[in-house]
Amino acid sequence: MAAADGLKVRKSPDPRHSRIKMLLDQYWAEENPAIPSLPWGAADAGALGQFLRANPKLAVEAVERCLRNRLRSEDHAPAERVHRWIGDLLRYSSGPLNRFKQPARGSALAAEASVGTYRPGMSYKTDDEPCKPLRDVMSAAWQDRVIRLHHSRSQELTDLELQFLKEENLL
């Protein structure tokens, strides 16, 4: 945009940008404790700016919720640069995702449904059969993530996560 005297006029920065950058720093510290700080460059800042322009009414709290859900998801590799995934952040708005990029329901039935072995009406267990411990039905990645979240005490855990910690005598 050019002013009447030929100088460019810059738009004022989006006030959400710095607040979300701070949330991304916190997210990075949780997701990658061995890497001291969030790698941040022009590509990352530009991708965040583009994300905010594409979602002008998106509240910072919604972004924070999505980041919490992404932290608890199994569908991504830690230490991925922000510019590679920020455009898809809203996929986590409803909750964490499993390794198949589907909602992680936290139950063995949902896990079976996601890979096609569960059939509606099929009995998962008989009444006389004891329930399997969560260690036997949940992925190792999920178990590691729950233990890491418990040790960091950074967020509230779901009932299923708390049940797992109790079964493992960590509570």
| Range 143-151 average pLDDT | 82
In this predicted structure, what is the pLDDT of residue 17?
Answer: 97
Looking at 77, 104, 131, which one is the last position of a domain? 104
Residue 171 has a pLDDT of: 76
94 and 121 within one domain:
no
Q: What is the DSSP string of 29-60?
A: HHH-TTS-S----HHHHHHHHHHHHH-TT--H
Is there a single domain that holds both residue 60 and residue 36?
yes
% the chain with pLDDT above 70: 80
Q: Is residue 2 part of a domain?
A: no
pLDDT for 118 = 44
List the one residue out of 61, 97, 144, 105 whose CA is nearest residue 85: 97
Does 23 lie in the same domain as 52? yes
Domain count within the chain: 2
146, pLDDT greater than 50: yes
Q: Do 46 and 87 share a domain, yes or no?
A: yes
CB-neighbour burial class of residue 27 (10 A; exposed 0-12, middle 13-18, buried 19+): buried
Q: Which of 54, 88, 104 is the last residue of a domain?
A: 104
3-state class (DSSP) for residue 103: strand
Residue 6 lies in a domain: no
89 & 153 share domain: no
Looking at residue 112, what is its pLDDT?
46
Same domain, residue pair 21 and 49: yes
Q: What is the pLDDT of residue 151?
A: 80
What would the mean pLDDT of 7-26 be, rounded to a whole number?
A: 91
Query: pLDDT tens digits for 32-89?
Result: 999 989 999 999 999 999 999 999 999 999 999 999 999 999 999 999 999 999 999 9
Domain shared by 53 and 128, yes or no:
no
Least confident of 77-81, 123-127, 139-143, 164-168: 123-127
What is the rounded distance in angstroms from the CA atom of residue 51 to the CA atom of residue 89? 9
70 and 127 belong to one structural domain: no
pLDDT reported for residue 149: 82
Regarding pTM above 0.95, the answer is no
Residue 147 belongs to domain spanning:
107-171
Answer whether residue 3 is part of any domain.
Answer: no
Dist CA 55 CA 9 (whole Å)? 23
Q: Domain check: are 98 and 33 in the same one?
A: yes
The pLDDT assigned to 133 comes to 80
Which residue among 58, 85, 104 closes a domain?
104
